[in-house]
Amino acid sequence: MTGERAPAFWWPHIARVLDLAPGTIAVTESAAPRASVVDTVESVIELGRSDVDRRSFVTASSGYALAALGLPDPDSVTRRTKTAPAGAVRVGQGEVAAVRQMVKSLGDSAAELGGGHGRHLAVRYLIDDVGPWLNGRYSEAVGRDLFAASSQLAHLAGWMAGDEGDTPELRGLAQGYYAHAYRLAAESGDLELSATALRGLAVQCIDLGFRAEAVQLGEACVDHGRHLDNPRAVAYYEATLANAAAQDDDHRLATRHLAMSESAIGKPTAAVSGESWAAHYSPGRWAHESSMILTRLGDLDAAEEHLRLALDIPVKSAC
């Protein structure tokens, strides 16, 4: 209500109920609220510092997950190319390649040894190395690539936090990193990375029981990825929405998007780049996830069929 109505009438009642001092809020006519833009770079670096220094304790929430949808600043990269300070470090494609290589190395290590292994190394790299580059001098093209690579690093930090343990603190950190991965990807203009980050948020909401929020995030995920020329990615995102809808007991929505996922996974994938974060989503993985969704929907015969298919596909591939 800021900018629309002064609190002179209702604030004293709220203060009395909550046992607060009425003077804690200024009872004055307010002008229209000033537009406030949360700078994504500053925000993600602060998140990393809070993680390393253990300065704050934030738990995951359904509200924070949905709020991520409205946070990206589309002019962030363009604005930074025009406002970089004189002494800022110059950044080129070499730095972008370094971030991507570090993400791959840390990701491979975490996949083998677990998310807790090297997580703080990933966060330190984000703060100490990538942070100054994000605040550096670069062209718009380099800036968008740098934001995209940084999105991958933030997403990896989120996955590592979630894989490390199931504590409220780690769940909150994972959600924060996923949300910032989405913001960085959206500001870079990379639809696949945007959709993948939203998928991370949606899956976490499913795990935490935020069913309605998971559906909304799944829908946003599908919307970002629907025009990608990458059938595995499209299948990945459609299955995410189908899973969320199934958890929310929306059989019609789940069935429709599971069918769309099946249609996408059946398309040729020769053009899929190994750098795609959906490259791992093979027909076998799809069959397994579909089996879990069908189980939730109560179609046990179809679930068993898909589970057998998931077991059979790797055998056939090896022959």
Across the range 31-49, mean pLDDT stands at 74
CA–CA dist 128, 11 (Å, integer): 45
At residue 125, does pLDDT exceed 90?
yes
CA–CA dist 118, 155 (Å, integer): 14
Which residues are registered as beta bridge partners of 90?
137
34 vs 301, higher pLDDT: 301
- CA angle, 141 then 275 then 199, to 5°: 90
The confidence band for 268, taking pLDDT boundaries of 50, 70 and 90, is confident
Contact 151, 178 (CB under 8 A): no
CA–CA dist 277, 262 (Å, integer): 19
**pLDDT value at residue 277:** 77
Across the range 114-125, mean pLDDT stands at 90
Q: Which residue has the tokens 């972008």?
A: 96
**pLDDT value at residue 19:** 56
State the pTM of this model. Answer: 0.83
Q: What are phi and psi of 261, to 5 degrees?
A: -65, -40
At residue 51, does pLDDT exceed 60?
yes
Across the range 42-51, mean pLDDT stands at 92
In one-letter notation, the amino acid at residue 263 is S
pLDDT in tens, 207-250: 999 999 999 999 999 999 988 989 999 999 999 999 999 999 99
At residue 170, does pLDDT exceed 70?
yes
Of all residues in the chain, what percent carry a pLDDT higher than 90? 65
**pLDDT value at residue 14:** 60
Contact 246, 276 (CB under 8 A): no
131 vs 69, higher pLDDT: 131
The confidence band for 116, taking pLDDT boundaries of 50, 70 and 90, is confident
**pLDDT value at residue 172:** 93
Contact 278, 233 (CB under 8 A): yes
At residue 28, does pLDDT exceed 50?
no
The confidence band for 1, taking pLDDT boundaries of 50, 70 and 90, is very low
Contact 122, 157 (CB under 8 A): yes
Average pLDDT, the chain: 86
**pLDDT value at residue 72:** 81
77 vs 269, higher pLDDT: 77
Contact 287, 306 (CB under 8 A): yes
172 vs 56, higher pLDDT: 172
Across the range 259-281, mean pLDDT stands at 79
At residue 312, does pLDDT exceed 90?
no
CA–CA dist 128, 73 (Å, integer): 23
Contact 232, 213 (CB under 8 A): no
Q: Which of 66-75, 160-169, 195-204 has the lowest mean pLDDT?
A: 66-75
Contact 102, 153 (CB under 8 A): yes
